[in-house]
Amino acid sequence: MIPGIEGIEQEYVIDSDDILAGSKTAGKKVVVIGGGSVGAETAHYLMESAQRKVFLLEMLPDIATDMPQDAQIVFAKEVKQMADLKIQTNTKVVRIKENSVIIEKNNEEQELKDIDTVVLACGAVPNNELVQALKGIDAAVYTVGDALKVKDATKAIYEGAMAAIEV
């Protein structure tokens, strides 16, 4: 995940995968960039696992819009009740500075200060290195799931099943 945001290369900017896998931990005041299901679930996890203040930033008017609708309603209701989870929708991250994040909302810039960790949960792209490496081998190669396009498990299972049927 490497969205083109100025300042993203800084050490305190980490990936949501690292948080969820437990390979990195976040500080006390955290910004999560991206309020899709992955960012929203990461923010929820960060709130559960320690005493923190978390800002969940999303460009769209709502969070977790890629979840099934029933799950989204239940989830959104729960996270909106978490006092220290500040959900900011219609909000774009402009740049990441040293320990602060500049956001744009309603055509105005604001600074979220004293941030310990920035977590990226946006801009996921397929990893198809293996597909490239297998080019030219004497066998049929099928690319399915997130390696083809990042989406969800049901689509990945369907595509895998269709490939298996074809084989």
Integer Cα distance of 36 and 42 in angstroms:
10
Which residues from 143-162 bind ligand FAD, rule CB under 6 A? 145-147, 151-154, 156
Asked if 97 is part of the footprint of ligand FAD (rule: CB under 6 A), the reply reads no
For ligand FAD, the nearest residue by Cβ is 145
Pick the closest to residue 25 from 4, 1, 42 (CA basis): 42
Distance CA 99, CA 109 (A): 16
**Which DSSP letter does residue 103 get?**
E
Side chain identity at residue 142, one-letter code = Y
- Tell me, what amino acid is at 42? T
Pick out residues in 9-68 that bind ligand FAD (CB under 6 A). 20, 37-38, 41
Which is nearer to ligand FAD, 130 or 164 (by Cβ)? 130
Q: How many residues bind ligand FAD (CB under 6 A)?
A: 13
Query: What's the closest the beta carbon of residue 99 comes to ligand FAD, in angstroms?
Result: 26
Name the minimum Å distance from CB 27 to ligand FAD.
20
H helical segments located in the chain: 16-21, 37-49, 69-80, 129-133, 153-166
**Residues near ligand FAD (CB under 6 A):** 20, 37-38, 41, 130, 145-147, 151-154, 156
